C-alpha cells in the first residue's frame, strides 16, 4: 500500500506542514536538484494519479538540507539576550540533517548544529520539538479528528477525474501553475507552483516537488510576496525507500530536560481580536484569530519573574509601544512577531501579515 494513500488527509497535510515549517514558523530549505533523468510532461491530475499508483513505499530515509533566509535583515543583534540564541537555532539559521518517515506516518526530522541537534518528531498524535542548546522539549498534542465512517475504498488510488475535481476546488482559493518535470535528489520528480488568491498575507506562494514514481514529497518551498527567491525551502539531497526501524522514532531526551506543554485553542474568524484573560496561565496556550493565510496566532504564557530582559531572547529587538507597554518586534519577509508582557502574562503575537496589522491586533488584546 502506498504510504501516502494510507494517511488521512489531515495527517498528510500535517506531514507537508512539517516539511515546510519546521515550523509554523518559518525557515528556508535548500534545494538539491540533480541534472538526472526527468519524467515526461503530463497534466497535473495525471502526474498525481500515476505517482500514487506507483510502487508501494514502506518508508523513507533521506538526507536533507534546510536553508533559512527568514531572519536576513531582521536586525537581530548578537548575544543571548538580544536574539542571538534565536538566530543560532538550526530551524532559523539553516542546517543539514536527516528525515525519516514510517509507513504508518510517523516522522522524525533531525537538524545538526554545533550546540546540539534539534529534533522534531510526530507520532500520529503529538508533535515534539527538542532543542539541545537549551535542553528543552516542546510538545503539542493535536486535536482529535472527527470520527466518521471509513469507506473501504478510502485508501484506493483516486481516479484522474477525482483528482481533477480536487484541483478545481483548490483553484477557487489558489492559482496552480503548470506542473514542471524536474529531478530532485536523483529522483525524477514533478514540481507544482501554487500562489494564493486570498489577499492580506505576505506569503506569495509555494512549491511542492514529489517523486514521479511514488508520490513522496522531496522538496517544499515558501515564497514571500516581496521576493522571487524562496524564503523557506526544504529538500532532500539523497533519498532511499524501505522500512524504517521503530528504534529511529524512540527518542529519550537527556536528564534535566525542561518540558513545555503547548496548549491549543481557536477562535472563530473575527474582524477584531477578542478580549484575553489577564490572569497568568499555568502553561502556554495557543489560539488563532481569523482564517486562512492572514490568520494571527497568539501564544500566552506566564511571565518570568526577575531579570526579564535576560530571560527574553527577543529583548534586544527593535521596540514599539502597545497600549503603553514596550514590545519587542521581529519583522521578516513572511510576517511579524511581537512579544510583550502585561499583568503577569507574556504574549507572543505572530502572523503572515503586515507589521501594522499585527500591531493593531495586539492593541486590541
Nearest to 333 by CA among 82, 74, 18, 17: 74
Tell me the CA distances in angstroms from 350 to 103, 125, 261, 336, one per residue in order: 34, 24, 19, 6
Of residues 151 and 60, which shows the higher confidence score? Answer: 60
Report the sign of the C-alpha dihedral through residues 305, 309, 315, 318, in that order.
Answer: positive
Nearest to 70 by CA among 267, 258, 179, 229: 229
pLDDT tens per residue, range 170-193: 999 899 999 999 999 999 999 999
**Environment class of 155 (CB within 10 Å of its CB; exposed 0-12, middle 13-18, buried 19+):** middle
CB 359 within 8 A of CB 338: yes
Nearest to 102 by CA among 241, 197, 297: 241
CA-CA distance, 73 to 263, in Å (whole number)?
32
Confidence of residue 347 (pLDDT cuts 50, 70, 90): very high
CA-CA distance, 121 to 111, in Å (whole number)?
12
pLDDT tens per residue, range 118-153: 999 999 999 999 988 888 999 998 887 766 555 544
CA atoms within 13 A on the CB side of 32: 16
CA-CA distance, 357 to 201, in Å (whole number)?
10
CB 189 within 8 A of CB 210: yes
Of residues 94 and 54, which shows the higher confidence score? Answer: 54
What's the pLDDT score for residue 317? 82
Confidence of residue 16 (pLDDT cuts 50, 70, 90): very low
Q: What is the mean pLDDT of residues 328-347?
A: 91
What's the pLDDT score for residue 117? 86
pTM over 0.75: no
Confidence of residue 87 (pLDDT cuts 50, 70, 90): low
| Domains observed in the chain | 9-249 (2.50.20.10), 265-363 (3.30.200)
CA-CA distance, 174 to 168, in Å (whole number)?
10
- What is the secondary structure of 23-81 as a DSSP string? TTT-------B-SS--PPP--HHHHHHHHHTS----EEEEEEEEEE-TTTTS-PPSSGG
Q: Is 274 helix (H, G, I), strand (E, B) or coil?
A: coil
Q: Reply yes or no on whether the pLDDT at 25 is more than 70.
A: no
CA-CA distance, 8 to 337, in Å (whole number)?
32
pLDDT tens per residue, range 225-269: 888 889 999 999 999 999 999 999 999 888 899 998 886 544 444
Amino acid at each position: 500500500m502506498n504510504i501516502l494513500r494510507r494517511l488521512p488527509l489531515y495527517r498528510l497535510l500535517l506531514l507537508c506542514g512539517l516539511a515546510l515549517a519546521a515550523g509554523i514558523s518559518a525557515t528556508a530549505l535548500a534545494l538539491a536538484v540533480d541534472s538526472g533523468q526527468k519524467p515526461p510532461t503530463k497534466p497535473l491530475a495525471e502526474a498525481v494519479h500515476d505517482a500514487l499508483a506507483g510502487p508501494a513505499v514502506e518508508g523513507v530515509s533521506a538526507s536533507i538540507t534546510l536553508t533559512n533566509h527568514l531572519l536576513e535583515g531582521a536586525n537581530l543583534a548578537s548575544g543571548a539576550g538580544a536574539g542571538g540564541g534565536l538566530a543560532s537555532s538550526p530551524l532559523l539559521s539553516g542546517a543539514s540533517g536527516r528525515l525519516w518517515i514510517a509507513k504508518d506516518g510517523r516522522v522524525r526530522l533531525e537538524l545538526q548544529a554545533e550546540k546540539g541537534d534539534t529534533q522534531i518528531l510526530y507520532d500520529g498524535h503529538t508533535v515534539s520539538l527538542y532543542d539541545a542548546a537549551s535542553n528543552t522539549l516542546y510538545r503539542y498534542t493535536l486535536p482529535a479528528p472527527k470520527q466518521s465512517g471509513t469507506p473501504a475504498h478510502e485508501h484506493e488510488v483516486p481516479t484522474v477525474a477525482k483528482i481533477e475535481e480536487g484541483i478545481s476546488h483548490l483553484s477557487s482559493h489558489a492559482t496552480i501553475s503548470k506542473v514542471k518535470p524536474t529531478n530532485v535528489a536523483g529522483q525524477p520528480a514533478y514540481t507544482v507552483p501554487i500562489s494564493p488568491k486570498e489577499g492580506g498575507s505576505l506569503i506569495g506562494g509555494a512549491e511542492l516537488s514529489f517523486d514521479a514514481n511514488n508520490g513522496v514529497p522531496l522538496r517544499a518551498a515558501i515564497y514571500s510576496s516581496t521576493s522571487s527567491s524562496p524564503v523557506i525551502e526544504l529538500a532532500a539531497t539523497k533519498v532511499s525507500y524501505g522500512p524504517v526501524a521503530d528504534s529511529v522514532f524512540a527518542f529519550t531526551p537527556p536528564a534535566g530536560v525542561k518540558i513545555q506543554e503547548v496548549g491549543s485553542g481557536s477562535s472563530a474568524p473575527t474582524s477584531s481580536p477578542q478580549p484575553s484573560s489577564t490572569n497568568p496561565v499555568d502553561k502556554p496556550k495557543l489560539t488563532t484569530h481569523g482564517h486562512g493565510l492572514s490568520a494571527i496566532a497568539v501564544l500566552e504564557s506566564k511571565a518570568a519573574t526577575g531579570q526579564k530582559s535576560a530571560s527574553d531572547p527577543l529583548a534586544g529587538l527593535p521596540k514599539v509601544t502597545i497600549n503603553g507597554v514596550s514590545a519587542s518586534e521581529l519583522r521578516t519577509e513572511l510576517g511579524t512577531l511581537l512579544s510583550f508582557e502585561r499583568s503577569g502574562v507574556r504574549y507572543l503575537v505572530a502572523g503572515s501579515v503586515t507589521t501594522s496589522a499585527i500591531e493593531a491586533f495586539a492593541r486590541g488584546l
